Amino acid sequence: MIEESNSIASILDSIISKIEIELEQKPSLNINLSDCEFEDVPMLQKRNELSRDSMDINCRICYDPNQEFPVIYPCKCKGTMGAIHLKCLERWLEESNRNNCELCGHVFRMERTPRYKIFRSIIVWLCLNQNEHQIYVRNVRTDLLRCLIIIPVTIACSYICVVATDFYALNNYDNFPPARWTTYSLLSMMALLILSFFIWIYMMLQYHQKAWFYWWQKTSTVKIVDFMLENTALIQNHKCDISQV
């Protein structure tokens, strides 16, 4: 009996010692698990933020995350400022009549195709009824009216100067100083009048040519070229950054 009781006591002691060892090991396991959980939480949050940002990137022009038109990064702008739809970019380049980004200055490689031929565009430009073009059209009509008035006056004055100069030359007034100075004055006045007339015509045509050319370029169709390879590389790098996290 004594031997049996001793064996039972030894068995109980071994069981108790095992339980104590297990109890000592459980807190360390819990601590390790909690550390792992705390380490995984920021990583998961970062993944969620990146995935959410990649899905919620909007075009900086229309602010529409339309999946039918993918967002591209065609310039050097960083982050969401570089996200833009291709159609929106081409439309903006058409309306602004630019060839570079207004933020980073990146020059886009593009093809600009005019919608109208030169002579047809002039007729369309003169016949526009938009308020912003009425000022230019009114200036064109005013300058045409001025030309109708100034051209006959210039021709008449030049003719009078030529006739007067010829009169003094034929009547041998060379020895009479007032007549000679009158001849020189008439010739100088005629040259100055003709020069002023052509300078005015040149400035008028240059002003209207700039206004028409700006409108003609603005109404042209813009097509971005040679952006697909660069854009594809940027998108792949963005996806790789998300997958590596």
DSSP per-residue letters across 116-183 = S-HHHHHHHHHT---HHHHHHHHHHHHHHHHHHHHHHHHHHHHHHHHHHHHHHHHTT-TT-HHHHHHH
Which residues 6+ apart lie within 8 Å of 218 measured at CB?
Answer: 94, 95, 97
Higher pLDDT, 81 or 239: 81
Contact criterion met (CB below 8 Å) for 50 and 241: yes
Q: Grade residue 44 by pLDDT with cuts at 50, 70 and 90.
A: very low
Q: Report, as an integer, the average pLDDT of 20-34.
A: 53
Amino acid at 160: I
Contact criterion met (CB below 8 Å) for 140 and 215: no
Q: Does 170 score more than 80 pLDDT? A: no
Residue 41 burial (C-beta neighbours within 10 Å; 0-12, 13-18, 19+): exposed
DSSP conformation class of 73: -
Q: Report, as an integer, the average pLDDT of 78-85.
A: 80
Q: Does 221 score more than 70 pLDDT? A: yes
Give the model's pLDDT for residue 141. 86
Give the model's pLDDT for residue 29. 40
- Which region among 29-33, 147-151, 164-168, 207-211 has the lowest average model confidence (pLDDT)? 29-33
**DSSP 3-state assignment of 91?**
helix
Give the model's pLDDT for residue 91. 83
Q: Does 200 score more than 70 pLDDT? A: yes
If we measure between CA atoms, which residue out of 244, 242, 234 comes closest to residue 73? 234
Higher pLDDT, 122 or 65: 122
Q: Grade residue 4 by pLDDT with cuts at 50, 70 and 90.
A: low
How high does pLDDT run on average in the chain? Answer: 72
Q: Grade residue 106 by pLDDT with cuts at 50, 70 and 90.
A: confident
Contact criterion met (CB below 8 Å) for 84 and 61: yes
If we measure between CA atoms, which residue out of 111, 119, 98, 105 comes closest to residue 75? 105
